[in-house]
Chains A and B, each alone.
Chain A
Amino acid sequence: EVQLVESGGVVIQPGGSLRLSCAASGFTFEDYAMHWVRQAPGKGLEWVSLISWNGGSTYYADSVKGRFTISRDNNKNSLYLQMHSLRAEDTAIYYCAKAQATRVTLDVWGKGTTVTVSS
């Protein structure tokens, strides 16, 4: 079964740093680009970041550029999101998602991990 399981979400103070993880199973992880998408409480979906199959290319939404870093370890079938200088507006459920071969269609999603930025 294809599965993505996120972890690392916590309650954290503004200005803090946090690393989210996503463990992949049931597919050849190294063959696919991966994404992070977030959803603030009661709001819609916001794309956050994309990483290519080998980690050689990364892309970010303007709202997180310079503060967040996406990375992956294909040996561990894992995706990461390092988050710095966290703000209240970063409060959200963070989903990792697998892309189809096109890199930009998200065909498998995890259940999400919740990040709350609050003092």
Chain B
Amino acid sequence: DIQMTQSPSSLSASVGDRVTITCQASQDIYNYLNWYQQKPGKAPNLLIYDASNLATGVPSRFSGSGSGTDFTFTISSLQPEDIATYYCQQYDNLLTFGGGTKVEIK
């Protein structure tokens, strides 16, 4: 099974800050990685697919990069509505989610 390790598990940042989350796969998953946002009490929402492609309607302040085993998710300028937990998900071998990163406003 492929394990996905996200870090940090939580972070606190100010509005306008650049926020970066990393996701590491236990083996090479090429670019087979998605990122989701889950706001409190809501279902997850697809943000990034295939490691770096922005899903329809997602603001351009969100971005993703990486390949192989190391991936990065970035919010270029944190907004109050970005308060959520973010998950990476690999699909090289079925599906596995990372443990999540909870983003809060400082």
Which A residues contact B (CB, under 8 angstroms)?
Answer: 35, 37, 44-47, 50, 59, 61-62, 95, 100, 102, 104-107, 109-112
Q: Is B49 touching A44 in the complex (CB atoms < 8 A)?
A: no
Query: What's the nearest-Cβ distance from chain B to residue A94, in Å?
Result: 11
A105 touches B46 (CB 8 A): yes
- Chain B residues near A (Cβ < 8 Å): 1, 32, 34, 36, 38, 42-46, 49-50, 55, 85, 87, 89, 91, 94-100
17 more contacts with CB within 8 A, not counting A44-B97, A61-B94, A104-B95, are A44-B98, A44-B99, A45-B36, A45-B87, A45-B97, A46-B97, A47-B94, A47-B97, A59-B94, A95-B44, A102-B91, A104-B32, A105-B49, A106-B36, A109-B45, A110-B43, A112-B43
B43 & A35 in contact (Cβ 8 Å cutoff): no
B95 touches A35 (CB 8 A): yes
Q: By the criterion CB–CB under 8 Å, are A45 and B49 in contact?
A: no
A47 to B96, CA, bound (A): 6
Q: Are B43 and A100 in contact (CB under 8 A)?
A: no
Count of A-B contacts with CB under 8 A?
55
- A-B CB contact pairs (8 Å), 30 listed: A35-B95, A37-B44, A44-B85, A44-B87, A44-B99, A45-B38, A45-B87, A45-B89, A47-B89, A47-B94, A47-B95, A47-B96, A50-B95, A62-B1, A95-B43, A100-B49, A102-B91, A104-B32, A104-B94, A104-B95, A105-B34, A105-B91, A106-B34, A106-B36, A106-B44, A106-B46, A107-B46, A107-B55, A109-B43, A112-B43
Bound-complex Cα distance A61 to B1 (A): 10
Complex: A34 Cα to B18 Cα, angstroms: 35
CA of A23 to CA of B97, assembled, Å: 25
| Residues of chain A within 8 A of B1, CB atoms compared | 62
